[in-house]
Structure 1
């Protein structure tokens, strides 16, 4: 069936199409209204070396030159950030940050790339949390940001690094005010609307098929009625002649 034939059926069966269309709109609005809201908050840290570098001078009389930590990045910081990201993505870290079990809250700690498995060589740590409430999303990001600094210090203490060479986690983007993520709710409404539209289209064609079937039965009965009348008259005429 071509496009215009379909449009003709929809207009012909308007008493089915219009209620179905209204139900489609109501269903889409209902899904959008009841779909759970999701709020997103993020923060970003960068690992920096102390101004005297990452090593102690062998001779105290000739200390290491003081440098700007923001221009002294090296591959060591990238490796440190990768280790820290792995530690912050564990269930233990999530539980310590207050992430409840069940999957309603999503916590991601990456180096800034879209694929956390690639681990690009950067000294950045990006923390993102999606939660049902704005307060919960920001609270978890704040806790993970603080946990990152504590975890970084604990790792350096574990390897017995000199305190003067400790790497610092500098917050470059503080935990942001949570924004509502409307994409998932909108997608749910669109999918529901599309599904309801196809259901209404099916209902219109079902009504058309039913109407055609009834019309065909009426025509068949109308065509067979004269034949049945003639047959009944023919069956009675001999009896009347003999009488």
Structure 2
């Protein structure tokens, strides 16, 4: 590397310039978040129906263990479906997208807690926050829709509370830093490889010149022939 500094240094400079270009070429991503919580209404999961029949009417979503957790998972599946994303103005790999989970991406922990976590990402900070707001509103619509389909009494409807309202979008540079680090690493390896290649070529040329010199020195000298 020291002997071939005139090869290694330009290669390193090109690497720095290329990594800077990569860093600037990747637009920053902005992220906004919201957290929703599902709770049982104060009146409880059931209510008295017709007083003459004295029959209790219950919310089917709360009529079994882990009802709130199951409802949260249902909402996660509905909101995370591709059709729902398109209707809300997002795409799985588009410029503006979002992710929904119930607090854990591990499918073995589906019943961990009755939360719905929403994260929106976009190259535009306003779009990132707006997509989270739309998903939050859609979550309320879907929850009421499912309970109405099950003919649950309105007084037993599950309450959705915004524990964390859609936050202002913050810049994320993870992708840019990751790609920049990859370019720096590859460029550094290429610089070292270029220096070694230059040294190998120079060594091969030196050996060839030395072999030619040795061959010329060991060649027999033709003495002049005297004519009578």
TM class, shorter-length: 0.7 to 0.9
Equivalent residues of 1:48, 1:168 under 8 A apart: yes
What's the TM-score once normalised by structure 1's chain length?
0.82
Question: Following the alignment from structure 2 to structure 1, what is the Cα–Cα distance between the partners of residues 154 and 108?
Answer: 31
Listed as ranges, the matches of 1:204-243 within 5 Å are 204-228=195-219, 230-231=220-221, 233-234=222-223, 237-238=224-225, 241-242=226-227
The answer to which structure has the higher strand fraction is 2
| Structure 2: distance between partners of 1:122 and 1:102 | 28
Match of 1:11 in 2: 2
Report if the CA contact (8 A) 1:110-1:116 is conserved: no
Where do 1:7-156 residues align within 5 Å? 10-57=1-48, 75-100=66-91, 102-115=93-106, 118-156=109-147
Q: CA deviation at 1:119?
A: 1.5
Q: Could you tell me how far 1:117 is from its partner in structure 2?
A: 6.2
SS state at 2:11 partner: helix
- What are the ranges of 5 or more consecutive residues in structure 1 without an aligned counterpart? 1-9, 65-73
* Separation in structure 2 between the aligned mates of residue 127 and residue 117 of structure 1, nearest angstrom: 20
Q: Deviations over 1:15-38 (max 9, x none)?
A: 011111111211221111112321
Could you tell which deviates more after superposition, 101-110 or 16-25? 101-110
Structure 2: 5+ residue runs without aligned partners? 57-64
Larger radius of gyration: 1
Please tell me the root mean square deviation across aligned C-alpha atoms, in Å: 2.2
Matched, 1:189 2:174: no
Distance change >3 Å, CA 185–CA 120, structure 1 → 2: farther
Question: Aligned in 2, Cα 1:158/1:59: closer, same or farther, shift over 3 Å?
Answer: closer
Change (3 A) 1:150 1:56: same
**CA–CA separation in structure 2 for the residues paired with 1:104 and 1:84:** 24
Name the stretch that deviates more: 168-177 or 115-124.
115-124
Distance 2:183 2:33 in 1: 30
Q: Is the 8 A contact 1:38 1:180 kept in 2?
A: yes
The answer as to whether partners of 2:82 and 2:91 remain within 8 angstroms in 1 is no
CA contact (8 A) 2:70 2:111 kept: no
Instruction: State the match for 1:6 in structure 2.
Output: none
